[in-house]
Chains A and B, each alone.
Chain A
Amino acid sequence: MTSAPERTSAYLDHGATTPVMSEVVDEMLVYLRDDFANPSGVYRAARDARRAIDDARDVLGEAFGCASGEIVFTSGGTEADNLAILGIERREGGRVVVSAIEHHGVLRPAESIGATIAPVGRDGLIDLDHLAQLLDDMTDLVSVMAVNNEVGTIQPMASVIKLVNTHAPTALIHCDAVQALAFCDVKTLTRGCDLVSYSAHKIGGPKGVGALVVNDRARARLHPILRGGSQERDLRAGTENVAGIAGFAVAVRITSQRRAETVERVRALRDRFVDTLVHEIPGVHESVDRNLRHPGNAHLVFPEVTNEEFLLLLDRYGVAASAGSSCASGAIEPSHVLVAMAMSPEEARSCIRFTLGQSSSGDEIDYAIASVIAAHHQIVASDRR
């Protein structure tokens, strides 16, 4: 086993959030310390702040494959999702269709308006045949995420879009691309979508800022859910998070520049991590086919181990990973994604998500491998006592 004596921690929860890049921090400090003005003002400092937002919009438009004017800044991915689902006009008897494995940012507002849930297969991919049956002229909106946050599966967006355009040509298409931005070419992946959600903190940007791309077709049918000032083309009231938006743009620019290199490097680390654990620990396996996942996701089943306990042991080794989502009290809830994939409750309770990111390194992965093996040994040994 590889030893890494100097290391005492490994961060493998980039799917939850990422460390903020130092370039991002530097950029944000300018707008926190110096150019702090409200961009709605009529004086020079306000115009400087406004320029920062407009520049950021250009950067995002270039990276996302849309016009700058189509970007609506929000407080994050969840607000972007809520705006898309709740802000869209619905006809009398019109339907909203969302996949069963959406992030709660989509699923909860969708449930609140009685949306139809489109099932997924055991492979973690949306069931296209079933989706086709749910679409017709009364479909107002279809929402399918680009990359699942838990098992990491990249959804067949091109096929989804083709289906919607065929069976429900008047429906708008929303895509939650929050998890896709770090590793995927979102320009290609989301081509043909009317609404796309993004978040800064999954790619080395700050928490509390995100964006919803709204094309002209969607703009005509979208209404704000936060009302007040006329910011963001009247679609999102509230003084802009100037520093956050400026930081978001830097994170997007650097992520885009480094993406090809990051994808190859992280994929190699992820494969080493998974292959070693599968080889070293009897019974450990991947929950879905690796080729369907994004390169930073390792979602593993540890048979007969309860993930809640395993995560606490890993925490003792300084290894940060996750499973499912947390309820209001902080307890881990059974994952709706794994349930939707028809996994048994026992198997779902044995799953752990490890997510790598731009900052992941070789010695960090070696430390994580050694720690996971040691923690697993401890938990199995105590069960045999």
Chain B
Amino acid sequence: MRILVAMSGGVDSSVAAALLVDGGHEVVGATMKLWGGAGDSGCCSVADVTDARRVCDRLGIDHHVFNFTEVFNEMVVDPYVEAHRRGETPNPCVECNRHLKFDAFIARAERLGFDSVATGHHARVERDADGRSQLVRGHDRAKDQSYVLSILGSDQLDYLLLPVGTMEKSQVRAFAEQRGLITFAKPDSQDVCFIASRTKGLGRAQFLGERIDLHPARVVESASGAEHGEVAAVELVTIGQRRGLPTDSSMRPRYVIDVDVNKRVVTVGDREELMVLGLRLSNRTWVHEPRVSGTRVLAQMSAHGAARKATLDDEGLTFDEPSRKIARGQIVALYEEHCVVGSGVVC
């Protein structure tokens, strides 16, 4: 097969390419240049492109750079900024997967005559009894990335190979070292790639502050209505947040339980007040046919969070037991056992 491997310059995609080369496939590596801004420090920096190219040199395969900066700005960065303006907590990595890695990239691979694309995600594509593609959690549960791929449909899964999904991360690194790939010891990427890491929170505040007006907001106790003071930027506050809030006289830990950007009010309360019985979901996607109301699922609300038992309804889902409230804009991945069935965005 002719396979185009999306190579970030990290160890997982390096090993993905190596495994496919060893498997006798005709492999070409490609790195997406997504961001050319000042925060050029993330998963598409010049140094990472160089690493990807050197890995390809080592493997004896071609390497290309695709300039997707325009579509990345349009489909990921601008919506990210807009979501913060509305007081939501967007997940740009998922949107990048949705619009870049598994849309623009696959479309280009098809036009260039490739049979498949591969990435270094820790998840598995398996066939069910009917031969349909299923997205299954990665073998290394601690590194499982099926959450960020939960927006994919079967058309995309049919075209996708995830060669490291059957490996432990330690095996991936050991293989890379033994294969002589310079990326074997590179740390896992963590931050949003277009925001210069620096101090984590500060980077985001600066990035957004350069693009939208940030407004101070009153911090109000949910039960009593008592005011605790102000936060500097309501657009940067997220549900469940504990740090960076003015303390009240009782010195009890306070959690953000609601954010109202229009009224510029942040409501805080006890941890118990964060618990909700269900979530409303928009932008729902399904790997195959839509799941009907009443379907039992496991709902995962963050990349490596616990999956909670829930039942789908017309609006979203209801948890079996109260679960922590999730900020609007976050992705919920829906599973049946270890298999992704769909996704939604908290609204």
Interface residues of A (CB under 8 A from B): 308-309, 312-313, 316, 327-333, 345, 378-379, 382-383, 385
Check A329–B33 contact: CB distance below 8 A: yes
Partner of B113, one of A308, A328, A382, A383: A382
Q: Which of B46, B64, B70, B110 contacts A312 (CB 8 A)?
A: B64
What is the predominant secondary structure among interface residues of chain B facing chain A? mixed
When distances are taken between beta carbons in the complex, the residues of chain B under 8 Å from A331 are 33, 65-67, 69
Using a CB-CB cutoff of 8 Å, which residues 161-204 of chain B contact chain A?
A: none
One of A327, A329, A330, A382 near B111 (C-beta < 8 A) = A382
Residues of B within 8 A of A312 (CB): 64, 112
Whether B67 lies near A328 (C-beta < 8 A) is: no
Residues in chain A near residue B49, CB distance under 8 A:
329-330
Q: Determine the chain B residues whose CB is within 8 A of the CB of A378 once the complex forms.
A: 111, 113
Residues of B within 8 A of A308 (CB): 66-67
Which residues of the other chain, A, contact B65 by a CB distance below 8 angstroms? 329-331
CB of A264 to closest CB in B, whole Å: 37
**Measured CA separation A379–B44 after assembly (Å):** 27
The reply to whether the CB of B108 lies closer than 8 angstroms to some CB of chain A is: yes
Q: Which residues of B contact A330 (CB under 8 A)?
A: 49, 53, 65
Which residues on the B side are within 8 Å of A309 (C-beta)? 108, 111-112
Asked if B116 is an interface residue, CB under 8 A from chain A, the answer is: no
Contact string against A for B residues 78-120, beta-carbon threshold 8 Å, 1 for contact and 0 otherwise: 0000000000000000000000000000001011110000000
**Quick check: A329 and B113 within 8 Å, CB to CB?**
no
What are some 18 contacts across the A-B interface (CB < 8 A)?
Answer: A308-B67, A309-B112, A312-B112, A313-B112, A316-B113, A327-B36, A329-B33, A329-B49, A330-B49, A330-B53, A331-B33, A331-B65, A331-B67, A331-B69, A378-B111, A379-B111, A382-B111, A382-B113
- Which residue from chain B places its CB closest to the CB of A330 in the assembled complex? B65
The docked-state distance in angstroms from the alpha carbon of A333 to that of B67 is 7
Judge whether B41 is part of the interface by a CB distance below 8 angstroms. no
Tell whether B285 is near chain A: CB-to-CB under 8 Å: no
| Cα of A112 to Cα of B45 in the assembled complex, Å | 24
B64 (CB) vs chain A CBs: closest residue = A312
Interface-centre pick from B53, B66, B110 (highest chain A CB count, 10 A): B66
* B31, B67, B108, B112: residue with the most chain A Cβ atoms closer than 10 Å: B67
- What's the Cα separation between A112 and B274 when bound, in Å? 54
Q: Which residue of B lies closest to A379 (CB)?
A: B111
Nearest-neighbour CB distance to chain A for B117, whole angstroms, equals: 14
User: A327 to B113, alpha carbons, bound, how many Å?
Assistant: 26
> Given contacts A382-B110, A383-B111, are A329 and B46 in contact (CB under 8 A)?
yes
Residues of B contacting A383 in the complex (Cβ-Cβ under 8 angstroms): 111
A330 to B65, CA, bound (A): 6
Residues in A whose Cβ lies below 8 Å from that of B44:
329
Min Cβ gap B173→A in Å is 25
**A193 nearest CB across to chain B (Å):** 35
A265 to chain B, nearest CB (A): 33
Nearest to A305 among chain B residues (CB) is: B111
Please give the distance in Å from A330's CB to the nearest CB on chain B.
4
Q: Check B33–A327 contact: CB distance below 8 A.
A: yes
In the complex, chain B residues 57-76 whose Cβ is within 8 Å of any chain A Cβ: 64-67, 69-70
| B110 neighbours in A (Cβ, 8 Å) | 382, 385
Q: Given the complex, which residues of B lie within 8 Å of A327, measured CB to CB?
A: 33, 36, 67
How far is A378 from B112 in the complex, measured between Cα atoms in Å? 8
Q: Name the interface residues of B23-64: CB closer than 8 Å to any CB of A.
A: 31, 33, 36, 44-46, 49, 53, 64
Kindly list chain A residues whose C-beta atoms are within 8 Å of the C-beta of B64. Answer: 312
C-alpha spacing A327/B31, complex, angstroms:
13
Chain A residues within an 8 Å CB radius of B113: 313, 316, 378, 382
* Residues from chain A with Cβ under 8 Å of B108 in the complex: 309
Known pairs A327-B33, A329-B65; list 17 more (Cβ under 8 Å). Answer: A308-B66, A308-B67, A309-B108, A309-B111, A309-B112, A312-B112, A313-B112, A316-B113, A327-B67, A329-B46, A330-B65, A331-B67, A345-B70, A378-B113, A382-B111, A382-B113, A383-B111
The 5 closest A-B pairs by CB, nearest first: A331-B67, A331-B33, A329-B49, A330-B65, A331-B65
Docked complex: B214-266 residues within 8 A CB-CB of A: none
Q: Which of chain A's residues has its CB closest to B62's CB?
A: A315
Which of A328, A333, A382 makes the CB contact (< 8 A) with B46?
A328
Give residues of chain B (98-153) contacting chain A, Cβ–Cβ below 8 Å: 108, 110-113
A53 to B113, CA, bound (A): 52
Shortest CB–CB separation between residue A337 and chain B, in angstroms?
Answer: 17
The residue of chain A having its C-beta at the shortest distance from the C-beta of B53 within the complex is: A330
The interface residues of chain B lying within 8 Å CB-to-CB of A316 are 113
Residues on B with C-beta less than 8 A from A329 are 31, 33, 44-46, 49, 65
Chain B residues whose CB sits within 8 angstroms of the CB of A332 once the complex forms: 67
Taking the closest CB of chain A, its distance from the CB of B324, in whole angstroms, is 40
CA distance A309 to B33 in the complex (A): 14
Chain B: CB-nearest residue to A332: B67
Convert B1-40 into 0s and 1s, putting 1 for each residue whose CB lies closer than 8 angstroms to a CB of A: 0000000000000000000000000000001010010000
Give the distance in Å from the alpha carbon of A345 to the alpha carbon of B70 in the complex: 11
Chain A's closest residue to B49 (CB) is A329
Taking the closest CB of chain B, its distance from the CB of A16, in whole angstroms, is 17
CA distance A232 to B46 in the complex (A): 36
Query: What residue in chain A is nearest B67 (Cβ atoms)?
Result: A331
Assembled-state Cα–Cα distance A379/B45 (Å): 29
Residues in B whose Cβ lies below 8 Å from that of A345: 70
Shortest beta-carbon distance from B44 to chain A in Å = 7
With the chains together, A332 CA to B113 CA distance in Å?
21
Q: Tell me, in angstroms, the Cα distance from A332 to B110 when the chains sit together.
A: 20
Closest Cβ–Cβ distance, residue B116 to chain A (whole Å):
15
Q: Which residue of A lies closest to B36 (CB)?
A: A327
A344 to B29, CA, bound (A): 30
Closest chain A residue to B113, Cβ basis: A378
- Give A359 to B64 CA distance when docked, in angstroms: 27
Residues of A within 8 A of B46 (CB): 328-329
- Nearest CB on B from A87, distance (A): 29
What chain A residues lie within 8 Å of B69 (beta carbons)?
331
Which A residues touch B45, using CB under 8 A? 329
List of B residues within 8 angstroms of A333 by Cβ: 67
